[in-house]
Structure 1
Amino acid sequence: MSEQNGLEVATLAGGCFWCTEALFLELKGVKKVVSGYTGGKTKNPTYEEVCSGYTGHAEAIEITFDPNEISYEDILEVFFATHDPTTLNRQGADVGTQYRSEVFYHGDAQKKAAENFIQLLNDQNIFGKKVVTKLSEATFFYPAEDYHQNYYNRNKNQGYCMAVISPKLDKLRKNYKSKLKE
């Protein structure tokens, strides 16, 4: 488990990183969220390269969190509730391998927690179809260009933000009040 000063790291890919970043920045115990690229073969990829679909990277976020304030399981719960983990390489209108659903685990405990969570979702048929979220060991994470960081909070009136991210945030705020920062 990647730990520094008692903090842990979670790395998740659930479609456009602007969306996932905006959601996780709102959660209690989350200290930092960085948008970036991981899971591919290209070193130091650019946004344009990742968008081509040829790098193998996913748009992902790296979450630094305090496990005394929010558990990894809580992070997984929000992750699976705020994107569609049953579509392969697609979230809404965003299509391509870079928009896949994937958990990049840091250590055996995170791997087991993610396996158990996916098993529970499938056993209870939560989505009406099987979860296709991939599980992979976390590898090198490349932070995205500066203009992608904290994108939603800096561009709330941009069309994509208003149409796609704002409704996701409304759902998060309605369904996870107890997990939100003050």
Structure 2
Amino acid sequence: MKATFGGGCFWCTEVIFQNTKGVHAVLPGYMGGQRENPTYEQVCSGATGHVEVIEIDFDENQISFQELLSVFFKTHDPTTRNRQGADVGTQYRSVVFYHNEAQKEEAIALIAGLEAAKVYDNPIVTAVESAETFWEAEDYHHDYFNQNPQNQFCQVVIAPKLTKYLKSLDH
């Protein structure tokens, strides 16, 4: 089964889901824009309308789409429009791209539940949109954190986020 999420920089979200039980593969890429086969540079310019996303291949017998949604909402800020931390632009918007009606309904229900429970101080701006063509990112983006552990962004931004997530699994 597939799930596709845009939650800011795909380097950050990729490693979280790589460390989630029941996830077989995580691919970084682009979705939701107007240009065919966009490049990273084109997407970063904001001109294509694409979002940096991860496409997750998961085993429904080990993890549900609902559980993946829960991880997604716990590991990024769904209340900032076109932004995650220092990353600003439409390519960093928060979005769930659903692959079927059940995923759409689950995403809408989860967002409504989070809003009703006032989990966040600000309103959730995460969009729920139908999955479109997934354009796989260039090879150097794949498994970025694990391939570039000495990169300053990996050390300062991604490593603490991953550590926090892994600690949450112990509870």
- After TM superposition, the score normalised by the length of structure 2 is 0.99
2:107 to 89, 114, 124: 114
Q: Any unmatched runs of 5+ in structure 1? A: 1-7
Using the TM superposition, give the Cα deviation of residue 105 of structure 1 relative to its aligned residue in structure 2, in angstroms: 0.2
Could you say what secondary structure the match of 1:125 adopts?
coil
- After TM superposition, the score normalised by the length of structure 1 is 0.93
Separation in structure 1 between the aligned mates of residue 101 and residue 169 of structure 2, nearest angstrom: 27
Q: What CA RMSD, in Å, does the superposition of the two structures yield over aligned residues?
A: 0.7
Do structure 1's residue 170 and structure 2's residue 159 form an aligned pair? no
Write the letter of the residue equivalent to 2:96. V
What corresponds to 2:4 in structure 1? 11
What corresponds to 1:34 in structure 2? 27
Do structure 1's residue 152 and structure 2's residue 145 form an aligned pair? yes
Do structure 1's residue 69 and structure 2's residue 62 form an aligned pair? yes
Could you say what secondary structure the match of 1:136 adopts?
strand
Do structure 1's residue 141 and structure 2's residue 112 form an aligned pair? no
Separation in structure 1 between the aligned mates of residue 121 and residue 84 of structure 2, nearest angstrom: 17
- Spell out, residue by residue over 1:2-47, the C-alpha distance to the aligned partner (whole angstroms, 9 max, x if none): xxxxxx0000000000000010000111000000000111100000
What corresponds to 2:48 in structure 1? 55
Using the TM superposition, give the Cα deviation of residue 177 of structure 1 relative to its aligned residue in structure 2, in angstroms: 3.2
Using the TM superposition, give the Cα deviation of residue 128 of structure 1 relative to its aligned residue in structure 2, in angstroms: 1.2
Q: Any unmatched runs of 5+ in structure 2? A: none
2:37 to 41, 44, 52: 44
Alpha-carbon contact 1:88-1:101 (below 8 Å) kept: yes
What corresponds to 2:73 in structure 1? 80
Do structure 1's residue 95 and structure 2's residue 91 form an aligned pair? no
Separation in structure 1 between the aligned mates of residue 100 and residue 61 of structure 2, nearest angstrom: 18
Alpha-carbon contact 1:122-1:129 (below 8 Å) kept: no
Using the TM superposition, give the Cα deviation of residue 129 of structure 1 relative to its aligned residue in structure 2, in angstroms: 1.5
Could you say what secondary structure the match of 2:2 adopts?
strand
Write the letter of the residue equivalent to 2:123. K
Do structure 1's residue 123 and structure 2's residue 116 form an aligned pair? yes
Could you say what secondary structure the match of 1:43 adopts?
coil
Separation in structure 2 between the aligned mates of residue 98 and residue 68 of structure 1, nearest angstrom: 32
The alignment-based identity, stated in percent, is: 54
Separation in structure 2 between the aligned mates of residue 34 and residue 111 of structure 1, nearest angstrom: 21
